[in-house]
Chains A and B, each alone.
Chain A
């Protein structure tokens, strides 16, 4: 295959990945809709007691015929959703790999925002699938697949650019290290932010009615809080490495100064400070719980702004502007 073939294959693989993610979203929607149709009484106490058990598809009480059929439907839809996510992730991975082979010479697939979005979505998917069983993340399926689908669609509509070689400024192995670490940390933060959002909704949400039934499908708040913490605790050191070690080393090497107060650096630093505040807040009375979760979301907002805002609004003023168009 020639590089052009690889590049074309990559575009097609990403497109198909998007379609399969959409199907996975549908499967999870069916799973949710069926769960909502479950009679109320079994729900709330069951999943509270279950502790770490993700609780979407837990069968409770004497299984009557209609009930067991429903539970089977929920379970099947959920399993199909996960299976489709696996397929979509494999397709996306193939798209990312061929994207990297689609240039001459081949290179890491994160030379611009489009590629960063692809690899970031892949990271989120992989983190979700890797932790799915161990952390009982089935409840997260709908969110993860929708999130990845939206990111892929936005990337395709607004960021798409044909595969090509890197601009000279990126000719460095630090691209692999610095951007690779940044993507990994962003993936962990994204999944963490998702968990924090669910934590906040569940914490204050209704306990009864349709809303209550919906919220009963999530793990208890303390499980969510701990999961969010662990994701952030993994993301934070990686982010520290990406933004405050690898970045400055490369900057010193390429620009002659390890810290230039470039808008992207400033916002990476802001993100770091906010997540540091999150970790501290989580251990402080009066701040832990909701306030800490809000800080985590603020941190993710600064991360997103750094990725989108800086590249589009301050692109000309930033030395990181080659990351855009």
Chain B
């Protein structure tokens, strides 16, 4: 949240400062310049070699038939790898799956996080305990999280089916294969709920109590107060969460791989959770199609960067309320 707020505010203030011309630098200015570049050198080198070069190499690879070994026998393929995406039925299937998964995951995560934040924003007993408890899954590493859910949802030995069997003795639901997408959503929401809740709780601090009080005196009930006061003030955060969730969902592939069979790099996720990034990952690590895989990645990057730019661009319009500005200023 504040990343964007402060970022948009900091940049102009920095750029407006006058820079001294390079020629005729005083010894002090020269020393300062030297010191500055010494301090940023590790990051700068890392940025060039670990971000820019891989991005360029990734793009160049996407134009070739590179398979991991044929460096001396590369063929330039132009945009062939990109065209191939459209005729690859697995890729199209994975795009469909990813869209479906995002439409399940994004609203589920946002709505549940918001509900929890609203409840825990009230003055209730054990508030701190509940907040900590709901945040904890966020701390658990993904491999442990998937183990938790694998044995919880196991068709034969899982607790969920055991509970269901109390009511329907002969029912055995294969959650992780027949209902893989809802299960994936449950796992993902379970892990992300605490984070979403904390961000919403911070946003709720920006809703002035006097405003809610005034509305209540005017006869508004809790639901009216929520939709007419709380929600409008929360829209910036809601929008931030929406884009964040969208970007996260489109890139998801770790949990499907962990839920898959075969293990390791060659793990085959349940078909219903064959997401776009899973497909891109498998092109390199199973099929050695580096060119095609990087084409898949670049295509996704363009979508993700567009989404990010939308947030970045729009943040100056929806970050409007005073509370956030004061907070940002205090930090800078």
Chains A and B form a bound pair: no
Interface residues of A (CB under 8 A from B): none
